[in-house]
Amino acid sequence: MNNEEYEEQKCVVKYLELKNIKFTAIPNSTYTTSWAQKAKNKASGLRAGLPDLLVIINKRLVFIEMKRNKGGKASPEQMDWLIKLSECENVFTYVCEGFEKAKKVIDFHLKLNI
């Protein structure tokens, strides 16, 4: 995750906390130069591409892949995860370019109080 994506995601986290919404970040991009740690991560099930945030809003799972405001693009691994997840019932996936787009997604699901 580049610095711009990081800053945008921090804003999303603050917004989710403000709205008292249950969420977690998914640390798939944890960088290490240790081949032993990479092997351990893979053996324990860590796979590339899972979206950055898992959010529970009104009994729906919402996965958000954060990108910078301009020029960010989901990788093939990320797109594969987004497609597979979106095929599940009550699961919604989004690629959000910046905080404002993520906020719109969150607010949309908050309004669907079903």
- For the CA atoms of 46, 27, 64, 82, what is the dihedral angle to 10 degrees? -10
Give the residue carrying structure tokens 């008292």. 20
Q: What is the tens place of the pLDDT at every residue in 53-111?
A: 999 999 999 999 999 888 889 999 999 999 999 999 999 999 999 999 999 999 999 99
Query: Mind listing the domains of the chain with CATH numbers?
Result: 3-28+36-111 (3.40.1350.10)
Q: How far is CA 93 from the centre of its chain?
A: 8
The reported pTM is 0.88
